[in-house]
A and B are shown apart, each in its own frame.
Chain A
Amino acid sequence: MSVLSELKIGESGVLMALDLPESVQNHLMHMGFVPDALVTAVRRAPAGDPTVYLIDGMEIALRHETAEAIRVRAPEVESAHIVPQDEEAQELTEAVR
């Protein structure tokens, strides 16, 4: 178990929980940050922060302080590294389980 900000570029994680105030949690959840969603770190901004994450086919940038409060676990499948369609990856994850 780790937090989102620890993901290296190209790495993916499965979202577990958001340790954030409820209003922020709600906002992020409506942008796709829900439990069991697959998140991939795509790139860092030139200054090293914020980081761009791929979730639900959308690229969303979060600052380190926000990503730090989002708990993730490692996905069980290796193929989850570059994932254009997270839905497929999720199904695959479930199938393997």
Chain B
Amino acid sequence: MSACCTPPPFTPPTAPPPAGALKTVVLIGPPNSGKSTLFNRLTGLRQKVANYPGVTVEQRMGLMAGVGREDLTLIDLPGIYSLSPYSEDARVSIDVLRGAMPGTPKPDAVLLVMDSLHLKRQLMLAAPVLALGLPTLVLLNMSDLMESRGGHIDPLKLARELGAPVALISAVRGTGLDAVPLFLHQQTNREAAKPLALPVVGNAASAHSWAAQVSKNTGYRAPLSVEGTRKIDNILLHRIWGPLLFLVVVVGVFEVVFSIGQPLSDGFGDVLARIGGLARPLLPAGWIQSLILDGAWKGVSSVLVFLPQILLLFLFIGILEDSGYLSRAALIADRVMRTIGLNGKAFIPLLSAYACAIPAIMATRTIENKRDRFATILVTPFMTCSARLPVYMLLIAAFIPNIVYLHGFLGLRTIVMLSLYLAGFVGAMTTAWLLKSSILKSSETPFILELPQYRMPTVRSLALRLMDRARVFLRQAGTVILCVTLALWVLAHVPVVHTPGGTISAPELADSAIGRLGHFIEPAIAPLGFNWKIGIGLISSVLAREVMVSTMGTLYGADPETQSMHLQTALHHDMTLGGALALMIFFAFAMQCTSTMAVVRRETNSWKWPAVQFLYMLALAWGAALVVNHVVMAIFG
């Protein structure tokens, strides 16, 4: 391969791969080196995402189908700057490289990817990685950009300096990747690598001077810093235009999720309901049909309807992140976020939480400081997610008169809705401040934010990102939610009643297990203005908030969609204005979402955090509802 021009696009070899001792390959590189894009290139779509045992670091694995080596497993290590064990990511990387990570095989070869635009600094990771003595291929990514911007590197000289083969690639364009199968093929009968004088692992100063020496010896010339990025930042980080455009982006995310996402979700919900309707005649009437359709399918689809909105949100955030704007947003938001003890990187998750807490919690992975990250995860469910909307809409329509002020510009219903949004926001901010000034206090890790150059996001990486998130979401719906739904259905159908005709049937709701549970908790919720039926609704909505509406519908014998008038009237007979407002504030604060709890458990790797979160939010919701009920009763009598 010549150093002067960009290599041709990669075509997978047609010959069968040779059998060898090679099994596991790891991919390692600093953050922003294009590692994820390369991983996607090398593995295609067959990836597995899990957490390493005992830590919150994500483990990505895949078969190297992208270069015709389905027999090899590629492990993607987290993006790190050094192998000094200052962070959890680095500790995990060291363990994997040494074969000391339980459940992960010891790697046989290493692919070290570095951004050739910033090679001098990125080389600092090369020394400790090469010092491990594993066969290593060094991949200089974004070589096309480096060359087109006037940069230069001699890969042969670099290979001699490092004692490892070096290839120029472009992961985005997929060029130069034939070096990977070639390298892997050679490793089948390799010789022991000769030892090199490399700086001591963890010594930043010596690693830096070594990296500077190597880049000098190899004739590395960094490309000129791109004027384009500087010019874009002159506008996007402008004292006045910057924050204004930032607001436009924030409002834009809202607009997209609500105005485009809502109809999509509604349409998807109709499709799911129609599938249930089509399946009904195919199943034998009776309890099997009821269990599958009214239990499992209804419950799972009540959560699946949010998929379009979630994917849309991730597309939006993906574009912002891949283009490089997200770092600028974090920079702008930092000043506000620090007043509550968090930093700018927590802003994006909190924004996404207005759609759904699940992707928002997954988006907290960009926050390096573990305590900041946990604090963000714990306050995220306070933000008013889209699942609260059906409940708010039902109760507002039933209890709040349609009075307008300011010549029709502001309605009382809108004021109540906005107050509920505000309540959630204030709940999140106060809780964050409480957490950061008590159990999650930290001052160790400062805010260090790298501002990458702007680039055009590729369709391919956006598509892969969406598929990844859809997969996580669907797995959640297929396991946790399915189980809870089935449990709820069973509780509503036992104990069975023996009719005089000798057949058995489901009990009256009040006599069913869940009905008795409703009666059992009634004393605890009566002070809030709720009766046992609302109690059943609260219990079943622990699955997901919007389940409240369908449960109420079933309880009052009315379909929530077609006969909402009936449901509204029925609610009026059972509840006072105080109880209704108390119920709304209860929903604003309570953690009624098993999927969120499951994600929190996954991300924090412990049941402790979701348990603390659930109890704290429940106590807050109960207290706030009690106050609201009594205040409203005192005023309106």
A interface, CB within 8 angstroms of B: 20-21, 23-32, 34-35, 43, 45-50, 52, 54, 56-63, 65-66, 84-85, 87
Contacts and interface: CB of A to CB of B under 8 A. Distances in A.
A58 B118 contact: yes
Contact of B446 (A57, A62, A87): A62
23 contacts: A23-B444, A24-B446, A27-B81, A27-B86, A30-B207, A32-B121, A34-B205, A45-B242, A46-B242, A47-B243, A48-B335, A52-B331, A57-B117, A57-B118, A57-B120, A57-B225, A60-B450, A61-B334, A61-B447, A63-B334, A63-B447, A66-B446, A66-B448
Given A35-B205, A43-B237, A45-B332, A50 B451 contact: no
A65 B446 contact: yes
B400 interface: no
A45 B118 CA distance: 23
Interface in B192-207: 202, 204-205, 207
Interface string B236-263: 0111101100000000000000000000
B371 interface: no
Contacts of B413: none
Contact of B444 (A21, A34, A50, A59): A21
Interface string B147-189: 0000000000000000000000000000000000000000000
Contacts of A34: 204-205, 208-209
Contacts of A84: 224-225
B445 interface: yes
B205 A50 contact: no
Contacts of B422: none
A59 B204 contact: no
B124 interface: yes
B222 interface: yes
Given A47-B332, A47-B335, A27 B448 contact: yes
Contacts of B117: 57
Most buried by A among B117, B124, B204, B336: B204
Given A26-B204, A84-B224, A87-B222, A31 B450 contact: yes
A60 B335 contact: no
B217 to A, nearest CB: 13
A59 B207 CA distance: 21
Contacts of A27: 81, 86-87, 445, 448
B444 A24 contact: yes
A28 B237 contact: no
A60 B451 contact: yes
Contacts of B332: 45-47
Given A47-B335, A56-B120, A60-B449, 8 more contacts: A21-B444, A26-B86, A27-B81, A29-B208, A35-B205, A45-B335, A61-B449, A62-B446
